[in-house]
Amino acid sequence: MPEGHTIHRYARQHRRDLRGRAVAVSSPQGRFAAGAALLDGRTLTEVDPYGKHLFYRWSGSETLHVHLGLYGGFRT
């Protein structure tokens, strides 16, 4: 299970690599396809960790909430 230190590391890494850039967003499992389409190509403005949650803030004021669950991770 990803713990708080892992979440904060992801937030730092994603801020460094993605903040201020137009980001390609997809839904590999298809469950978030409509939401991914709304965010695809938008500029990521901030990444905020909170406990075991990540909040990705986008241009246009949308926020994506991510909780990695028991086995979650990111593919880069």
In a domain, 15, yes or no: yes
In a domain, 73, yes or no: no
In a domain, 74, yes or no: no
In a domain, 39, yes or no: yes
CATH classification of the domain holding 59? 3.20.190.10
In a domain, 75, yes or no: no
The pTM (predicted TM-score) of the whole model is 0.86
Range of the domain at 11: 4-67
Ordered strands of the 44-50 beta sheet = 44-50, 53-58, 63-67
5 pLDDT band, cuts 50/70/90, is confident
Tally of structural domains, the chain: 1
In a domain, 56, yes or no: yes
Tally of CA atoms within 13 A in the half-sphere of 39 that contains its CB = 21
- What is the tens place of the pLDDT at every residue in 32-63? 999 999 999 999 999 999 988 999 999 988 99
